[in-house]
Each structure stands twice: as structure tokens, then as C-alpha cells.
Amino acid sequence: MASFVSAVWAILRKDLAAEWRSRQLVTAMLVFVVLVIFIFAFTLDIDTLTRRQIAAGVLWTTFAFAGTLGLNRTLASEGERGSLDGLLLAPVERSAIYFGKTLANLFFMLVVEIFTLPLYAVFYDMNLAQPGLWLVLLLGSWCFCSVGMLLAAMAAQARSRELLLPVLLFPLVLPVLVSAVRASSAFLNGLGLEYALPSLNILIAYGIIMPALGFMFFDFIVEE
């Protein structure tokens, strides 16, 4: 158990260190997110009241797109220099690689979200400083990354890699997105925990089932 955790930690630290040196991914994700938010603002051209109602949807769509960018990158960057083979040869459990990479992706997504929320609050004049919303963001992103990492590992071995990932990922994370949007907008509209609870339960169930599947099946995906 202790060795498993230290393996996960090592992989997480490796990915964070690599990202810290290049700062490619997070920068790209951030620029992308800002662009998407502007595009929404220009194309939807909405009044204050509607803005409040659709905020949760806009935020989650944006984060899902940005998260897909990150997922596509994590394995592609390993593949470029053949370091994935080295990683697979390492004498650790394969599922440790899955968890390490999922956590790294979660970290990148959270960084992007932390930068986006104040921007969004300023541009759209909304109060996003709500712990309930943050909880939903954390849970939803965890679900998104844990499903996404599994599928990214699959898509990386298919013919049309980057094309395939969104096609596989979006249907499977739709339940996550739908529940996350419902829960977020419950908190944003001040309806409280009671209204958010059914959706939160789905997120929690997803956030347990999908990592468990990843734990069991990651071995089968990367085996040669």
C-alpha cells in the first residue's frame, strides 16, 4: 500500500515537474478557456438575468473542453520521446500510473478553474465565491479526469488518436456534466444543498465507480 502511494506520488510529481519546466499545457488551457468564455459572451449576447441562469452550463462546457485538451496532451507527450515504454517497464503497479496521471490532470484542471473563476466573476458580474460551487467543481473535475484518463489511454492506441478521445469521452461524461451543471446552478441560484443533493449523489457514485474501473482495467489497456 505504501509503495503504491509512493509510486502514485512519484508519477504525479514527475508530471507536475515536467509541466512546471515547459508550462505549455496549462498556458494553452488557460488561453483556450478565456477565449471560449469570450466566444460565449459574443455569440450569446445575453442580459444579466439569463447570464445568471446559464452560468453553470457555460462554466462546465468550458472546463470540459479545456480538460480534453489536457487529457490529449498527457499521453501524447509521453509517446513522443518513447518515455511511456520506460514508464510501463518500471517495476510498479500499472494502476499507479493511472492514478498518478489522473491526479496530475486533476491538478491542471483545478489550476485552470482557479484562474477562470475570478475572471468569469468580473466579466459577468457574478458572485462565484461559494464553497458549494467549489465542492461541485472539485468533484466534477475528479469524475471527468478519472473517466478521461482511461479513455485517453485507449484513444492513444487507436488510429485517429486526438479525434477519437472527445467522441469517446463526451457521451460517457455527459452524466457528470449534467449533474455538475444542475448542482452548480442550484448553488449559484442560492437554492442550497437540498436541491443539489440528487446530482451530488450521482457525482459521488461516478467518482467512486470510474476510478475503481480504472484501477482494475488500466492494466488491460496498456498491456502489449
Partner 1 sequence: MASTSLDRKPRALHVLDIVSALLMAATIYMVLFYAPTERVMGQVQRLFYLHVASAWVSMAVLILAAILGIVYLVRPQNKIDIWAVACIELGLVYAFICVTTGAIWARPAWNTWWTWDPRVVTFTILILVYLAYMLLRQGIEDPQRRARFGAIYAIMASVTVPLTYFSIRIWRTLHPVVIGSGDPSAQGTFDMTRPMLHTLLFSLLAFSIFGFTLLWHRVRLGWLADRVEQLRMKALGR
* Binding residues vs partner 1 (CB under 8 A): 147, 150, 154-155, 157-160, 164, 167-168, 170-172, 174-175, 178, 198, 201-202, 206, 209-210, 213, 217, 220-221
- Give 93 or 162: the residue with its C-beta nearer to partner 1: 162
Residue 123 beta carbon to partner 1: minimum distance, rounded to whole angstroms? 27
Residue 179 beta carbon to partner 1: minimum distance, rounded to whole angstroms? 9
Question: Residue 73 and residue 188: Cα distance in Å, rounded?
Answer: 32
Four-residue CA torsion sign, 177, 179, 184, 186 = positive
- Give 26 or 151: the residue with its C-beta nearer to partner 1: 151
- Give 118 or 198: the residue with its C-beta nearer to partner 1: 198
CA atoms within 13 A on the CB side of 191: 13
- Give 127 or 157: the residue with its C-beta nearer to partner 1: 157
Residue 189 beta carbon to partner 1: minimum distance, rounded to whole angstroms? 16
List CB contacts of 63: < 8 A, sequence separation 6 or more.
33, 109, 112, 113, 116, 137, 140, 141, 144
The closest of 149, 61, 48, 54 to 105, measured between CA atoms, is 149
